[in-house]
Every structure is written in structure tokens, then in C-alpha cells.
Amino acid sequence: MKSKAAKERKVLMCGNEVIGEAAVQAGCRHYFGYPITPQNELTAYMAKRMEEVGGVFLQSESELAAINMVLGASACGARAMTSSSSPGISLKQEGISYIAGMELPAVIVNVMRGGPGLGNISPSQSDYFQAVKGGGHGDYRIIVLAPSCSQELYDLTALAFDLADTYRNPVMILADGILGQMMEPVALRQINPKHVKKPWVLTGAKNRPGRRLCSLFLETGGLEKHNASLQEKYRRIKAKEVRCETYNISGAEVIAVAYGSSARLTKAAVKMAEERGIKAGYIKPITLWPFPEDVFIKEKDKNKKYLVVEMNEGQMVEDVERCVGDRKRVFFYGHAGGWIPQTEDIFKRIKKLA
Amino acid sequence: MREEIVAAGFGGQGVMLIGKILAYAGMLEGKQVTYFPSYGAEVRGGTANSTTIISTAEIPTPVSRHPDVLLAMNSPSCKKFGSRLKKGGLLIANSSLIENVFKRSDLTIIKIPATSLANNLGNKRSANMIMIGAYLKYKAIVSLKSVEKAFLILLPGKKDLWDINKKALRLGME
């Protein structure tokens, strides 16, 4: 394994650019965006690369316009992407709801910053609720992927396009200012995009019956039926697409739970605890929706404690409480507004619980 | 082994490039590296800084609370980051622009008039390479060869600038 890794040529790129290159390699030829820190390098990168590969780059007049351009491009069968950061993602929510309702593939990148409101430009994990619990109106779900290093930014962006096409559903890459701005070595592996047939695309109805893509269902029972079919799809996604990294769950007294940037620190803290003889493990969800519920539900040991570490005031912790089913054993460590945890501080909390 | 390096100075002094070159050189040597820029409202003439971490183990965060090394290109950054240096840390100060070096008895302090030396070479913007040279002389965290290779990869097509920067690197090491 190591020799294979050694053979792979690695480059040093900032995370935002890594996402852009993965999208290009995954066959994305339509990018629409509006600038906002800390994701501007992605928009700038796409401006350069789309021209090189003969794609479409458009800096729109607003976030709202960008997401609706994604909707349009996707309806015509293109692999389309938009990106923004927290306040800009809020503006896109109407479009995301429409895309989900119309069952169109789309990849949306959120390089999170501090909120609420315009907040600040510091790294944060402030948008978990918005990403996994809805964001826009209506009973819909989007697949949410949470990378924690540059390699995952690359690999998961490629995966996002395949999942979006497979399920005709929006997929969000939920990164943050650290991941977007940081440079670390990444192997730009060859990506083989999955070719999914799209018999629904709008290409003009010459010599064939017309097709219709919409999210408006006024006829009696029509919307109910549509929702039932969406729910059926979400159940399929939940059954097949959960992704999660775990370490020493069975042997641990304390299980740390974290995703994204805070997962890097949490893993280091668990290692530190182990070196000091504490029985610790971790769960790192990679899909935040579908959430890796079974990992928690299947754990029958009623003595295990969970420490959820987030760069916010406690959002994913609610899902962990729900799945563990015993709030007394679920603990939280985190703050909002640009706070970044330290390995030692997470370790101290693990130690206290052990 | 794990070294956390902050390079800081005015925007335009090339402090981001210091960080990138060191990170790239580390990567070329097969080490784990991260580079993290200060981002946001920085403009030419304002302050800018970058954090580079070079390690033999996985790097949990690219952010450093208490760096091992500070390459300070101007006075404000010397003050700001000097106080945050780890106990016993290394401070390399561009004495052309820093009159009163931060006083901390536990630090190893190297003063080098990087800007004047670079001016003498004919390009004051090579001061950053003189700073890297001074650092490598004190501590061979990466090899000179790797640094040179990194420069050429990061600044392709700037071979005309390479000669003067190569001299600057070596001058810093004297």
C-alpha cells in the first residue's frame, strides 16, 4: 500500500483548487458562482480551467442566479456545479429546494465560515443543520459529504457528481475555511466518471414526445405521490450510501465523534489518549446525510460515552444523541465564530470521561 | 519531528512564498506538510502571514498556536508573533526593518539585514529568500536542494529571477 502511495505523484494545491480540479476531471463543464471568502480560489480556478477545457464559466449577478443556472444546465443533462460560503449558501436554498423537487443532479460546495448573518470569514462548521436538515422548504434531502483533508476533497468531489447523477439529487460538499485555504499534498488520481443514462433531459422534443421537469404539482394527490416517490428514493440512499470511518469502537470506553476539520484534531486526540492508556476510539462520519446511524444504534454497550467535537455550538451532537438514545452518555465540546479546537484540549475532555 | 513555521511581514514581501516553498520542499522530501495562509482583507503594504508545518507524522491542524520558528520580515509581525513563539523557539528577524527585536530570554534570535542585503544584490524582493537561507543555515529542516527545486516548480518560467534568488538563498546561509 505504501509503495503505491509513494509512486503516486502528489502536488501541493489549496483545497479550493483541489475541489475545482476534481470537478473538471469528473466531467463538470458548467460552473456558475459568485465570489465570497473563503472559497474564492475555487471560483478563480474554474474561471481559468473552464476556458481550458471548453466548458462554461459564468460569474453570475448573484448566488440566486448561480444556483438557478445550475438547475438549467442540469436539466439539459450537463454536470453542473456551484460553490459559495455560508451566507451565499443561504441565498441558494430556494434553488436547492427546486432542484431537489425536480429531481435534478447538482453539486453544491459550501466552504463554511462563521455565522449567523454575514458572520466572519474564519473557518467554522456552522451549517450542519442547514445542510442535513433541509435548508430550503419542503420535505427533501440532499446528500452531504464531509471531507477532512485535501485528498478527500478530491475524491469526494468526484463521488459527488456520480451520486448526483445516480440518484438525480443535489449533493453538497460541506467543507470549511481551513480545508478550502490549506495546502497539503494531494494525488490527482485519474477519475473515471460514472456514465448514467439520463432519459429525462430536455434536449428539444423534435421527433419524440415532450418531457417535463417541474416541482409544481397542482392536481389532486399529485404532490403526495411525488413526495412518496422522493421518500422512497431517500430510503434507497440511506440503505446504500452511508460512508463513515471508525476506529476501535468495540474496545473504547470513550468514542469521539467529529467530521471535517475537527475530525483531524479529534483523531490526533484519540491517538494521544491511547498512548496514555485510555481506551478511546472515534467515529468520523463522511456522509452527514445519510448519517451513519447504524454505527451508533448497533453498539449495545450501555457504558460507552460519546464526545462530539464540532466547530459550532452543538449541531451534529443532536443526531448522535438521537442515535445513541441516551443523552446522559453524549457529551459536547465546541464553540462557534471561528474557534478551532486544539488536540490537547480534546484529549483532556476524553480523559475526563474515561 | 515536527516543525511549525510562521512567516510574517508586509504584503508584497513574499512571506506567503516563504511558506509555500518550505512546504513544497518538505513534500519533495516525503514529509507530511501543510501550508495555511492568512486570508481575508490583506493588501499590499498591510500585514500578511503564513503557517507551514513539516512533520514526519500526520498533521492534525494547519493552524499553529505556538510556532517553533518565526521568520519576521517587519516590526509589527515580529511583535505579534514573537510573543506566541514556543518556549525556546527560533526567531529570525529582518533587522533592516526591525530595530528593536522582541525581547524574550528563552528564544534563539538571529538578526539578518535581509532587505539591505537583497538591495545590494539588486532586488529587494529577494529578501524572503535570504530569510529562508538564514533559517536553513541554523536548522536544516529541509535541504537547500529541495528548496531550490521547490522554487523552480512554484515559479515556473521565472528563470531570470532564479539567478538572483539563488544568490540570495546562499547569501542568507553565509
b/e map of B59-84 (b: 16 or more CB within 10 Å)?
bbbbbbeebbbbbbbbbbbbebbbee
Whether A47 and A130 share a structural domain: yes
Whether A53 and A166 share a structural domain: yes
Distance CA A240, CA A221 (A): 29
CA B123 to chain A, closest CA, distance in angstroms equals 27
Contacts of A10 in chain B (CB under 8 A): 27
User: Of the candidates A38, A264, A340, which has its C-beta nearest B39's C-beta?
Assistant: A38
Cell numbers linked to A80: 453542473
Whether A54 and A131 share a structural domain: yes
Cell numbers linked to A99: 432542484
CA B99 to chain A, closest CA, distance in angstroms equals 33
Q: Which residue has the cell 448514467?
A: A196
CB contact under 8 A, A12 and B27: yes
Task: Give percent above pLDDT 90 in chain A.
Answer: 97
Whether A186 and A220 share a structural domain: yes
Whether A266 and A120 share a structural domain: no
Question: Residue A337 gets which letter from DSSP?
Answer: S
Whether A178 and A289 share a structural domain: no
Please give the tally of structural domains in chain A.
Answer: 2
Helix H or strand E segment including A118 = none
* A144 strand-pairing partners: A172, A289
CA distance to A23, A80, A177, A187, per residue, from A154 (Å): 8, 16, 16, 8
pLDDT of residue B9: 94
Helix H or strand E segment including A290 = none
User: Of the candidates B24, B33, B61, which has its C-beta nearest A340's C-beta?
Assistant: B61
Domain that holds residue A254: 245-353
Whether A234 and A312 share a structural domain: no
User: How many CB contacts within 8 angstroms connect chain A with chain B?
Assistant: 58
DSSP state string for A185-242: EEE-----------TT--S--TTS------S---STTHHHHHHHHHHHHHHHHHHH--
List, for residues A247-286, the tens digit of each pLDDT value. Answer: 999 999 999 999 999 999 999 999 999 999 999 999 999 9
pLDDT over 60 (residue B170): yes
What average pLDDT score do residues B69-78 get? 95
pLDDT over 70 (residue A3): no
Cell numbers linked to B130: 535570504
CB contact under 8 A, A267 and B60: yes
Which positions ≥6 away from A316 have C-beta within 8 Å? A128, A257, A259, A285, A288, A308, A310
pLDDT of residue A2: 45
- CATH number of the structural domain spanning residue A331: 3.40.50.920
CB contact under 8 A, B58 and A265: no
Whether A30 and A169 share a structural domain: yes
Q: Does A182 touch chain B (CB under 8 A)?
A: yes
- CATH number of the structural domain spanning residue A67: 3.40.50.970
List, for residues A234-248, the tens digit of each pLDDT value. Answer: 999 999 999 999 999
Which residues from B are below 8 Å from A when comparing CB atoms?
20, 23-24, 27, 30, 32-37, 39-40, 58-63, 65
pLDDT over 80 (residue A185): yes
**CB A286 within 8 Å of CB A153:** no
Which positions ≥6 away from B156 have C-beta within 8 Å? none
Q: Which domains does chain B have, with CATH numbers?
A: 2-173 (3.40.920.10)
Burial level of A283, CB count in 10 A (0-12/13-18/19+)? buried
- Taking the CB of residue A155, how many other CB atoms lie within 10 A of it? 20
Cell numbers linked to A84: 459559495
Question: Residue A328 gets which letter from DSSP?
Answer: G
Closest-CA residue of chain B to A261: B61
Mean predicted lDDT score pLDDT of chain A: 96
- Rounded to a whole number, what is the largest CA-CA distance in chain B? 44
User: Of the candidates B24, B35, B65, which has its C-beta nearest A182's C-beta?
Assistant: B35
Cell numbers linked to B24: 513544497
Whether A284 and A138 share a structural domain: no
Helix H or strand E segment including A173 = strand A170-176
- Most trustworthy range by pLDDT among A299-303, A317-321, B120-124: A317-321
What average pLDDT score do residues B139-163 get? 91
Cell numbers linked to B66: 505556538
Q: Does A251 touch chain B (CB under 8 A)?
A: no
What average pLDDT score do residues B109-136 get? 96
Contacts of B63 in chain A (CB under 8 A): 178, 340
What average pLDDT score do residues A117-136 get? 96
Mean predicted lDDT score pLDDT of chain B: 93
What average pLDDT score do residues B72-93 get? 94
Distance CA A4, CA B67 (A): 33
List, for residues A20-77, the tens digit of each pLDDT value. Answer: 999 999 999 999 999 999 999 999 999 999 999 999 999 999 999 999 999 999 999 9
User: Of the candidates B37, B40, B60, which has its C-beta nearest A268's C-beta?
Assistant: B60
